[in-house]
Structure 1
Amino acid sequence: MSKKKGLSLEEKRTRMMEIFFETKDVFQLKDIEKIAPKSKGITPMSVKEVLQSLVDDNMVDSERVGTSNYYWAFPSKALHARKRRLEDLEKQNEEGKQRRASLQQAVEKSKKGRQDTKERAALQKELQSLREQRESLRAEVEKYKECDPEVVEEMQHYCKGSCIQMDR
């Protein structure tokens, strides 16, 4: 005995869009709540949620007229939306290609004058040793930081302030 598995949200959305595209009509929520379970197998409890997700994604239009909400989606709108999205993606792709080309040129330009020579290697070794020396000096300064006159004075000031408050 196998249990019937429910539809995923994406399947429900697709089936809901089929309702709009097949009928090419305008619906109220109560109409969709009647049609969707019968014709597309969408559970009545999830119809409103699925419809709202389609409205939020601008796949279905909605308008409030008086006290009623009307919902509609036409195939032509979906086609135009896909074309617009495709154009946007192509534009982004082209911009990405231009950016890549300019970065490639910058890399090539920066490589000029950076040929590996003995002089360059010697300068890099010297730079590395100077960096190591700087780090060791920083570590040594950090060791003696608590003997720094400014730090000692600050500690004394703090202690005096604490002692005065304890007397009160």
Structure 2
Amino acid sequence: MGLVDDGLVTTDKIGTSNYFWSYPSAVIQTKRNKLQDLTSSVQKQEEKKERLEQLIQEATQDRQETDERAQLLAELKQEQSATKELQAELQKYKENDPELYLKKEKASKIAKEATNRWTESIWEMQSYCVNKFGMERQLFDQTFGIKDDFDTVD
């Protein structure tokens, strides 16, 4: 089946039998098709690259270095640096974000509920083993590594 998966052998089911065969020219034809696909893909990418380079060249020719353009570029850089500074300052206050605080509080509540649910399940299992098998609670705790301070979370 490995040869079938690799495309080196062809298979067909005729009736209840599986027939396998391989033509020497089939591998060559498969490789030719793959080469042709890759060649056409490379050609398309080269055409796209030439088109984009031409667009870049046209765009740079259309732009003229004027005082107004230089002033606008300088203003843009100032605004971008101011934005970065404000983003950095915003990061300082992010840990005091009320939405983030509420999400953490909700996650904490869910974690506590899950912990208490598992604790209750362990107690149920302990009660079952003690009642069904006559096992002592201390032996159960010792066997499963349950410490004396095992309790629900408040």
With normalisation by structure 1, the TM-score equals 0.46
With normalisation by structure 2, the TM-score equals 0.49
